[in-house]
Structure 1
Protein backbone atom coordinates (compact mmCIF):
# COMPACT_ATOMS: atom_id res chain seq x y z
CA UNK A 1 0.00 0.00 0.00
CA UNK A 2 2.86 2.38 0.85
CA UNK A 3 4.27 2.01 -2.70
CA UNK A 4 0.91 2.69 -4.36
CA UNK A 5 -0.04 5.53 -2.00
CA UNK A 6 3.25 7.08 -0.87
CA UNK A 7 1.66 10.13 0.76
CA UNK A 8 -1.01 8.16 2.64
CA UNK A 9 -0.96 7.78 6.39
CA UNK A 10 -1.38 4.09 7.18
CA UNK A 11 -2.33 2.99 10.69
CA UNK A 12 -2.74 -0.65 11.68
CA UNK A 13 -4.78 -1.28 14.84
CA UNK A 14 -5.47 -4.49 16.74
CA UNK A 15 -6.14 -5.42 20.36
CA UNK A 16 -4.02 -8.56 20.03
CA UNK A 17 -0.37 -7.57 20.61
CA UNK A 18 0.80 -10.39 18.36
CA UNK A 19 -0.66 -8.94 15.16
CA UNK A 20 0.86 -5.42 15.40
CA UNK A 21 4.10 -7.12 16.47
CA UNK A 22 4.12 -9.29 13.35
CA UNK A 23 3.29 -6.25 11.23
CA UNK A 24 6.18 -4.28 12.75
CA UNK A 25 8.52 -7.20 12.07
CA UNK A 26 7.39 -7.52 8.44
CA UNK A 27 6.73 -3.93 7.45
CA UNK A 28 8.71 -1.83 9.94
CA UNK A 29 7.94 1.85 9.70
CA UNK A 30 5.79 1.62 6.57
CA UNK A 31 2.85 2.27 8.89
CA UNK A 32 2.06 3.16 12.45
CA UNK A 33 1.19 0.04 14.45
CA UNK A 34 -1.13 0.51 17.40
CA UNK A 35 -2.33 -1.95 20.04
CA UNK A 36 -5.82 -0.82 21.00
CA UNK A 37 -9.22 -2.30 21.83
CA UNK A 38 -11.61 -0.23 19.75
CA UNK A 39 -14.58 -1.79 21.49
CA UNK A 40 -13.55 -1.07 25.07
CA UNK A 41 -14.54 1.86 27.30
CA UNK A 42 -11.24 3.71 26.77
CA UNK A 43 -11.79 3.57 23.00
CA UNK A 44 -15.22 5.14 23.48
CA UNK A 45 -13.64 7.97 25.48
CA UNK A 46 -10.92 8.42 22.85
CA UNK A 47 -13.56 8.49 20.09
CA UNK A 48 -15.49 11.15 22.00
CA UNK A 49 -12.28 13.18 22.51
CA UNK A 50 -11.50 12.90 18.80
CA UNK A 51 -14.95 14.26 17.87
CA UNK A 52 -14.64 17.03 20.47
CA UNK A 53 -11.31 18.06 18.90
CA UNK A 54 -12.80 18.06 15.40
CA UNK A 55 -15.79 20.16 16.48
CA UNK A 56 -13.49 22.62 18.28
CA UNK A 57 -11.24 23.10 15.23
CA UNK A 58 -12.29 26.23 13.28
CA UNK A 59 -11.34 24.56 9.99
CA UNK A 60 -14.19 22.09 10.49
CA UNK A 61 -16.88 24.47 11.77
CA UNK A 62 -19.15 24.18 8.71
CA UNK A 63 -18.76 20.42 8.42
CA UNK A 64 -19.32 19.90 12.15
CA UNK A 65 -22.49 22.02 11.99
CA UNK A 66 -23.74 20.13 8.93
CA UNK A 67 -23.13 16.86 10.79
CA UNK A 68 -24.96 18.11 13.89
CA UNK A 69 -27.89 19.28 11.75
CA UNK A 70 -28.11 15.92 9.99
CA UNK A 71 -28.02 14.01 13.28
CA UNK A 72 -30.75 16.26 14.69
CA UNK A 73 -32.90 15.70 11.58
CA UNK A 74 -32.54 11.92 11.88
CA UNK A 75 -33.33 11.94 15.59
CA UNK A 76 -36.39 14.12 14.98
CA UNK A 77 -37.64 11.88 12.15
CA UNK A 78 -37.11 8.75 14.26
CA UNK A 79 -38.98 10.31 17.20
CA UNK A 80 -41.90 11.25 14.95
CA UNK A 81 -42.15 7.82 13.32
CA UNK A 82 -44.95 5.58 14.57
CA UNK A 83 -42.64 2.61 14.81
CA UNK A 84 -39.01 2.60 15.89
CA UNK A 85 -36.49 3.12 13.13
CA UNK A 86 -34.94 -0.05 11.75
CA UNK A 87 -31.48 -0.68 13.16
CA UNK A 88 -28.74 0.44 10.82
CA UNK A 89 -25.13 1.49 11.06
CA UNK A 90 -25.09 4.95 12.68
CA UNK A 91 -28.77 5.29 11.81
CA UNK A 92 -28.20 6.23 8.17
CA UNK A 93 -29.96 3.19 6.71
CA UNK A 94 -27.52 2.93 3.80
CA UNK A 95 -26.22 -0.38 2.52
CA UNK A 96 -22.56 -0.95 1.73
CA UNK A 97 -23.44 -0.73 -1.97
CA UNK A 98 -25.15 2.61 -1.43
CA UNK A 99 -22.11 3.93 0.47
CA UNK A 100 -19.88 2.81 -2.41
CA UNK A 101 -22.09 4.55 -4.97
CA UNK A 102 -22.12 7.76 -2.91
CA UNK A 103 -18.33 7.74 -2.67
CA UNK A 104 -18.02 7.18 -6.41
CA UNK A 105 -20.48 10.01 -7.12
CA UNK A 106 -18.35 12.22 -4.83
CA UNK A 107 -15.39 11.72 -7.15
CA UNK A 108 -13.64 8.65 -5.79
CA UNK A 109 -12.33 6.52 -8.68
CA UNK A 110 -12.11 3.26 -6.77
CA UNK A 111 -14.03 2.11 -3.71
CA UNK A 112 -13.98 -1.34 -2.15
CA UNK A 113 -14.67 -3.05 1.18
CA UNK A 114 -11.51 -3.95 3.08
CA UNK A 115 -13.05 -5.57 6.13
CA UNK A 116 -16.38 -6.73 7.55
CA UNK A 117 -17.59 -8.02 10.90
CA UNK A 118 -21.34 -8.41 11.11
CA UNK A 119 -22.89 -5.24 9.75
CA UNK A 120 -19.74 -3.16 10.32
CA UNK A 121 -17.65 -2.50 7.21
CA UNK A 122 -14.47 -0.64 6.41
CA UNK A 123 -14.28 0.86 2.94
CA UNK A 124 -11.20 2.15 1.15
CA UNK A 125 -11.66 4.93 -1.38
CA UNK A 126 -9.11 6.40 -3.77
CA UNK A 127 -9.58 9.62 -5.76
Structure 2
Protein backbone atom coordinates (compact mmCIF):
# COMPACT_ATOMS: atom_id res chain seq x y z
CA UNK A 1 0.00 0.00 0.00
CA UNK A 2 1.39 3.38 -1.02
CA UNK A 3 1.99 5.79 1.85
CA UNK A 4 0.01 9.02 1.79
CA UNK A 5 1.71 12.38 1.32
CA UNK A 6 2.65 14.03 4.58
CA UNK A 7 0.45 17.00 5.40
CA UNK A 8 2.00 20.44 5.67
CA UNK A 9 0.53 20.88 9.13
CA UNK A 10 2.18 17.72 10.43
CA UNK A 11 5.51 18.65 8.86
CA UNK A 12 5.41 22.17 10.33
CA UNK A 13 4.63 20.87 13.82
CA UNK A 14 7.42 18.29 13.86
CA UNK A 15 10.01 20.54 12.22
CA UNK A 16 9.30 23.20 14.86
CA UNK A 17 9.75 20.63 17.61
CA UNK A 18 12.95 19.35 15.98
CA UNK A 19 14.45 22.83 15.81
CA UNK A 20 13.45 23.53 19.41
CA UNK A 21 15.10 20.43 20.86
CA UNK A 22 18.22 21.00 18.76
CA UNK A 23 18.90 24.11 20.83
CA UNK A 24 20.11 21.72 23.53
CA UNK A 25 23.01 20.63 21.37
CA UNK A 26 24.24 23.89 19.87
CA UNK A 27 25.11 26.97 21.90
CA UNK A 28 23.50 30.05 20.33
CA UNK A 29 22.29 27.97 17.39
CA UNK A 30 20.56 30.84 15.61
CA UNK A 31 23.61 33.09 15.91
CA UNK A 32 25.76 30.26 14.54
CA UNK A 33 23.41 29.89 11.56
CA UNK A 34 23.64 33.62 10.94
CA UNK A 35 27.45 33.58 11.00
CA UNK A 36 27.60 30.62 8.62
CA UNK A 37 25.17 32.31 6.25
CA UNK A 38 27.15 35.57 6.40
CA UNK A 39 30.30 33.70 5.35
CA UNK A 40 28.60 31.93 2.45
CA UNK A 41 26.92 35.13 1.27
CA UNK A 42 30.27 36.92 1.12
CA UNK A 43 32.06 34.06 -0.65
CA UNK A 44 29.34 33.67 -3.29
CA UNK A 45 28.74 37.38 -3.91
CA UNK A 46 28.50 38.12 -7.61
CA UNK A 47 28.44 34.46 -8.67
CA UNK A 48 25.58 33.22 -10.84
CA UNK A 49 23.68 30.22 -9.44
CA UNK A 50 26.09 29.27 -6.64
CA UNK A 51 25.96 25.65 -5.46
CA UNK A 52 25.82 25.11 -1.69
CA UNK A 53 25.74 21.85 0.29
CA UNK A 54 24.44 21.51 3.85
CA UNK A 55 25.78 18.24 5.33
CA UNK A 56 23.85 16.56 8.12
CA UNK A 57 21.04 19.00 7.46
CA UNK A 58 18.18 17.33 9.32
CA UNK A 59 14.95 18.80 7.92
CA UNK A 60 16.94 21.75 6.55
CA UNK A 61 16.82 24.73 8.92
CA UNK A 62 20.26 26.04 7.98
CA UNK A 63 19.76 25.19 4.31
CA UNK A 64 16.48 27.14 4.31
CA UNK A 65 18.19 30.18 5.79
CA UNK A 66 20.86 29.98 3.10
CA UNK A 67 18.23 29.69 0.37
CA UNK A 68 16.38 32.69 1.81
CA UNK A 69 19.52 34.81 1.84
CA UNK A 70 20.77 33.54 -1.55
CA UNK A 71 17.69 33.24 -3.78
CA UNK A 72 19.78 32.48 -6.89
CA UNK A 73 21.62 29.59 -5.24
CA UNK A 74 20.97 25.87 -5.52
CA UNK A 75 21.01 24.58 -1.94
CA UNK A 76 21.19 20.85 -1.18
CA UNK A 77 20.07 19.58 2.23
CA UNK A 78 21.97 16.31 2.71
CA UNK A 79 21.08 13.88 5.49
CA UNK A 80 20.98 10.13 6.16
CA UNK A 81 17.54 10.12 7.73
CA UNK A 82 14.59 9.73 5.33
CA UNK A 83 11.98 10.96 7.82
CA UNK A 84 13.81 14.20 8.53
CA UNK A 85 14.25 14.75 4.80
CA UNK A 86 10.56 14.14 4.15
CA UNK A 87 9.63 16.58 6.90
CA UNK A 88 11.93 19.11 5.28
CA UNK A 89 10.51 18.58 1.79
CA UNK A 90 6.96 19.02 3.07
CA UNK A 91 7.78 22.05 5.20
CA UNK A 92 10.32 23.99 3.13
CA UNK A 93 9.10 23.01 -0.32
CA UNK A 94 11.07 23.43 -3.57
CA UNK A 95 13.43 26.09 -2.18
CA UNK A 96 15.78 23.21 -1.26
CA UNK A 97 16.85 19.95 -2.85
CA UNK A 98 16.79 17.25 -0.19
CA UNK A 99 19.14 14.31 -0.77
CA UNK A 100 19.55 11.14 1.27
CA UNK A 101 23.20 10.16 1.76
CA UNK A 102 25.41 8.83 4.56
CA UNK A 103 28.37 11.21 4.82
CA UNK A 104 31.62 9.35 4.26
CA UNK A 105 30.10 6.11 2.97
CA UNK A 106 31.40 4.70 -0.34
CA UNK A 107 30.19 6.84 -3.23
CA UNK A 108 28.17 9.16 -1.00
CA UNK A 109 28.92 12.22 -3.11
CA UNK A 110 27.60 10.47 -6.23
CA UNK A 111 24.11 10.51 -4.67
CA UNK A 112 24.20 14.31 -4.77
CA UNK A 113 24.36 14.37 -8.59
CA UNK A 114 26.59 17.44 -8.64
CA UNK A 115 26.84 18.98 -12.10
CA UNK A 116 29.45 21.67 -11.37
CA UNK A 117 32.04 22.66 -8.78
CA UNK A 118 30.64 23.51 -5.36
CA UNK A 119 30.89 27.07 -4.02
CA UNK A 120 30.34 26.32 -0.34
CA UNK A 121 29.86 23.35 1.95
CA UNK A 122 28.35 23.98 5.37
CA UNK A 123 27.60 21.77 8.34
CA UNK A 124 26.18 22.45 11.79
CA UNK A 125 26.61 20.06 14.72
CA UNK A 126 27.05 17.02 12.50
CA UNK A 127 30.65 16.26 11.54
CA UNK A 128 31.69 15.39 15.10
CA UNK A 129 29.87 12.08 14.51
CA UNK A 130 32.62 11.04 12.08
CA UNK A 131 35.76 9.23 13.21
CA UNK A 132 39.09 10.85 12.47
CA UNK A 133 39.90 8.61 9.48
CA UNK A 134 36.44 9.17 7.98
CA UNK A 135 36.69 12.90 8.56
CA UNK A 136 40.10 12.96 6.83
CA UNK A 137 38.50 11.21 3.85
CA UNK A 138 35.49 13.54 3.79
CA UNK A 139 37.62 16.68 4.00
CA UNK A 140 39.66 15.41 1.05
CA UNK A 141 36.58 14.54 -1.01
CA UNK A 142 35.04 17.95 -0.37
CA UNK A 143 38.25 19.75 -1.30
CA UNK A 144 38.16 17.98 -4.66
CA UNK A 145 34.58 19.14 -5.33
CA UNK A 146 34.96 22.74 -4.21
CA UNK A 147 35.99 25.42 -6.69
CA UNK A 148 39.18 27.40 -6.01
CA UNK A 149 38.21 30.00 -3.42
CA UNK A 150 35.25 27.94 -2.28
CA UNK A 151 34.77 27.30 1.42
CA UNK A 152 33.95 24.61 3.94
CA UNK A 153 32.18 26.14 6.95
CA UNK A 154 31.81 23.84 9.95
CA UNK A 155 29.85 24.91 13.02
CA UNK A 156 30.38 22.21 15.61
CA UNK A 157 31.58 21.11 19.04
CA UNK A 158 35.35 21.58 18.76
CA UNK A 159 37.54 21.67 21.85
CA UNK A 160 40.25 24.29 22.32
CA UNK A 161 43.73 22.75 22.43
CA UNK A 162 44.64 23.62 26.01
CA UNK A 163 42.93 21.08 28.34
CA UNK A 164 42.02 23.55 31.09
CA UNK A 165 40.72 26.10 28.58
CA UNK A 166 38.66 23.32 27.00
CA UNK A 167 37.12 22.54 30.40
CA UNK A 168 36.27 26.19 30.99
CA UNK A 169 34.85 26.62 27.49
CA UNK A 170 32.58 23.61 27.99
CA UNK A 171 31.39 25.03 31.32
CA UNK A 172 30.64 28.43 29.76
CA UNK A 173 28.58 26.77 27.00
CA UNK A 174 26.64 24.59 29.43
CA UNK A 175 25.83 27.51 31.71
CA UNK A 176 24.65 29.55 28.74
CA UNK A 177 22.31 26.74 27.69
CA UNK A 178 20.92 26.43 31.20
CA UNK A 179 20.07 30.12 31.25
CA UNK A 180 18.45 30.37 27.84
CA UNK A 181 17.12 26.92 26.92
CA UNK A 182 13.33 27.11 26.50
CA UNK A 183 12.44 23.48 25.83
CA UNK A 184 12.22 20.32 27.90
CA UNK A 185 12.29 18.05 24.85
CA UNK A 186 15.52 16.35 23.82
CA UNK A 187 16.65 14.19 20.87
CA UNK A 188 15.47 10.89 22.34
CA UNK A 189 12.07 12.16 23.47
CA UNK A 190 11.48 13.73 20.03
CA UNK A 191 11.94 10.34 18.35
CA UNK A 192 9.79 8.60 20.96
CA UNK A 193 6.95 11.07 20.45
CA UNK A 194 7.33 10.94 16.66
CA UNK A 195 6.91 7.15 16.76
CA UNK A 196 3.56 7.68 18.51
CA UNK A 197 2.23 10.06 15.86
CA UNK A 198 -0.19 8.18 13.55
CA UNK A 199 1.16 9.98 10.49
CA UNK A 200 4.85 9.44 11.26
CA UNK A 201 4.75 5.97 12.84
CA UNK A 202 4.40 4.02 9.54
CA UNK A 203 7.33 5.92 8.07
CA UNK A 204 9.52 5.11 11.03
CA UNK A 205 8.49 1.45 10.90
CA UNK A 206 9.47 1.24 7.21
CA UNK A 207 12.95 2.58 7.97
CA UNK A 208 13.87 -0.21 10.41
CA UNK A 209 16.14 -0.12 13.45
CA UNK A 210 19.33 0.96 11.62
CA UNK A 211 17.98 4.27 10.38
CA UNK A 212 20.79 6.26 12.01
CA UNK A 213 24.41 5.67 10.93
CA UNK A 214 26.84 4.50 13.58
CA UNK A 215 28.40 7.38 15.51
CA UNK A 216 32.18 6.91 15.32
CA UNK A 217 33.03 10.19 17.00
CA UNK A 218 36.41 11.86 17.29
CA UNK A 219 38.41 13.70 19.95
CA UNK A 220 40.00 16.23 17.62
CA UNK A 221 40.84 19.63 19.03
CA UNK A 222 40.81 22.79 16.93
CA UNK A 223 44.41 22.26 15.81
CA UNK A 224 43.56 18.68 14.88
CA UNK A 225 40.80 19.86 12.55
CA UNK A 226 43.08 22.50 11.07
CA UNK A 227 45.77 19.90 10.38
CA UNK A 228 43.32 17.60 8.59
CA UNK A 229 41.93 20.47 6.53
CA UNK A 230 45.37 21.60 5.40
CA UNK A 231 46.28 18.03 4.56
CA UNK A 232 43.14 17.87 2.42
CA UNK A 233 44.18 20.93 0.40
CA UNK A 234 42.55 23.86 2.18
CA UNK A 235 45.25 26.53 2.19
CA UNK A 236 43.66 28.87 4.75
CA UNK A 237 41.74 27.79 7.85
CA UNK A 238 40.59 29.51 11.02
CA UNK A 239 37.80 30.29 13.47
CA UNK A 240 35.39 33.12 12.66
CA UNK A 241 33.11 32.62 15.69
CA UNK A 242 33.29 30.88 19.05
CA UNK A 243 31.12 30.55 22.13
CA UNK A 244 32.22 28.09 24.78
CA UNK A 245 33.29 24.91 23.01
CA UNK A 246 31.24 25.75 19.91
CA UNK A 247 33.20 26.99 16.90
CA UNK A 248 32.52 28.07 13.36
CA UNK A 249 35.63 27.06 11.42
CA UNK A 250 36.16 28.23 7.84
CA UNK A 251 38.50 26.49 5.41
CA UNK A 252 39.26 28.09 2.02
CA UNK A 253 40.02 25.88 -0.98
TM-score band by shorter chain is 0.3 to 0.5
Q: TM-score, normalised by structure 1?
A: 0.41
- TM score, norm. by length of structure 2: 0.23
